[in-house]
Every structure is written in C-alpha cells, then in structure tokens.
Amino acid sequence: MMPNANRDIAVGLFVFAALCAVAFLSIRVGGASWGAPGGLALHATFAEIGGLKVRAPVEISGVRVGEVTAIGLDADYQARVDMDLDAGLQLPVDTSASIVTAGLLGDQYIALEVGAEDEVLQPGDAIAFTESAVILERLIGQVVHGSKVDGEE
C-alpha cells in the first residue's frame, strides 16, 4: 500500500472536479440557495397565474431582478405568489406586477412596473396592483363571444 503521489493527485482532482460539477448543478442550475440571504421578499395575489412556475424570473424593464419562490392559494382561493428579489431594490408601494408570456408559446414570468410613490415596499409586503395571466383560450373565447354579440346586435 505504498502511496503513489500521482494517484493521489488524480484522486484529488477527480473529487474536486466532481464537486464543482455538483455545485454547478445545485446552485447555478438548480437554484439552491444558502437559506435567506437577505433578498427582498415580496408577495402578490393573482386571480389567474396561468403557466407561472416556481423559479420563474421576475423582471423590471426586461432585466432579471429575482425569481418566484413559492406559489400557493390564499384564504379567498386567489393565487398567492411569493418572490425573492435582489436586496436593496427600492420599489414604490404602487409598483404593479403582471404575469406575461415570453413570446407566444414561451414560459411565463413576472414583470414589475415601477410606480411613482415615495414610500417603498418593505420585506414581506404585498404588491397591491396585479394583472393576472392571459389565458389564450379565454382570449379566443372572448373574441368569439364578442363577435357573436356584435353579430346579434
């Protein structure tokens, strides 16, 4: 069992490379975080979230500032979406959140429209102004229904 220095180096490199791969997959790809690192946690209530998923991005003017951390139902059976945003963001209390689609058939994400008030949202606050997701089928149904109504008039 004489230790072979080259072998030991190889083992060390192998384990290191593998652990880097594990870390990459866990953190970059999987999004594991070290607990709550002081991000800005907000939540918003929507009547319809469409295809929004946990880990969907939250963007301001197209720039990613955070992600959706949890989706659930509140007492009124409205969808409550929790998000974790970059720490230090100063968002006025009249900021609005809408669920939009990337492209026609793409994934859904949350776009924040910054408001104008002086007061800013604190961690744990709710975003008051929300716009639910647009469901394509309902939109088409409205168009069809609308044209029928027009036709009847």
> Is residue 151 close enough to count as binding another protein by CB under 8 A?
no
Residue 66 near residue 84 (C-beta atoms within 8 A): yes
Please state the closest distance from residue 23 (CB atom) to another protein, in A.
9
Question: Which lies closer to another protein via its Cβ, residue 68 or residue 79?
Answer: 68
Q: The tokens of 145 are what?
A: 């229904």
Count CB-CB contacts under 10 A for residue 71: 16
Closer Cβ to another protein, 26 or 147, answer by number = 26
* Mask for 39-58, x = binds another protein (CB under 8 A): --------------xxxxx-
Q: Is 116 a residue that touches another protein (CB under 8 A)? A: no
- Choice between 18 and 144, CB closer to another protein: 18
Q: Are strands 96-101 and 108-113 parallel, antiparallel or unpaired?
A: antiparallel
- Tell me, rounded to whole angstroms, the distance of Cα 22 from its chain centroid: 24
